[in-house]
Structure 1
Amino acid sequence: MADPTAAEVQHYIAEGLPCTHLEVEGDGQHFFATIVSTEFEGKNRVARHQRVYQALGDRMRAQIHALSMKTLTPAEWAEKA
């Protein structure tokens, strides 16, 4: 199985998690994602990451070797902008 591209990982996340902003960078082995979703409201960092892993499903074990992420609510994203 070929390593996924950053665009593919972005697509996988977007399929399983409604995002208001989503960026994924990576080299096929290691990825970094900035994910903004209303579903993160009221959740701590661990719960947010678990939600992203849920969106990725088995791909997280089978295709994606490493994923670092910044998970923000729309309000947190607006503060950083």
Structure 2
Amino acid sequence: MAHPTPEYLRDLIAAGLTCTHLEVQGDGRHFFATIVSPAFAGLSRVARHRLVYAALGEGMRAEIHALSMRTLAPDEPLEQ
């Protein structure tokens, strides 16, 4: 099976989670995502990551080797 692409991950996340900003970079094995979603408001980092994992579904376990994420609510600054 071919390695997943950043676009594939972006599509999975966008299909399962309303995002105001979504950027995914990666090399087919290791990925980094910046995700801004109103669903993250008031949630801990762990709870936010669980929402992303739920959006990715089985792909997270079967196809994606490593995913680092920056998860923000819309009122949190994107730039640091």
Q: Do these two structures clear the TM 0.5 threshold for a shared fold by scoring above it?
A: yes
Give the TM-score taking structure 2 as reference length.
0.95
Structure 2 match to 1:68? 68
Paired residues of 1:20 and 1:36 also in contact (CA < 8 A): yes
How far apart, in 2, do the equivalents of 1:71 and 1:61 lie?
A: 20
Higher share in helix = 1
Structure 2 match to 1:19? 19
Query: Where do 5+ consecutive residues of structure 1 fail to align?
Result: none
Task: Please give the secondary structure, in 1, of the residue aligned with 2:32.
Answer: strand
How far residue 77 of structure 1 moved from its aligned partner, in angstroms, is 3.3
Per-residue CA shift, 1:24-49, capped at 9, x if unaligned?
00000000000000000010000000
Q: Considering only aligned residues, what root-mean-square deviation do their CA atoms show, in Å?
A: 1.2
How far apart, in 2, do the equivalents of 1:73 and 1:41 lie?
A: 5
Percent identity over the alignment is 62
Query: Where do 5+ consecutive residues of structure 2 fail to align?
Result: none
Tell me whether 1:49 sits opposite 2:49 in the alignment. yes
How far apart, in 2, do the equivalents of 1:29 and 1:4 lie?
A: 7
Paired residues of 1:36 and 1:77 also in contact (CA < 8 A): no
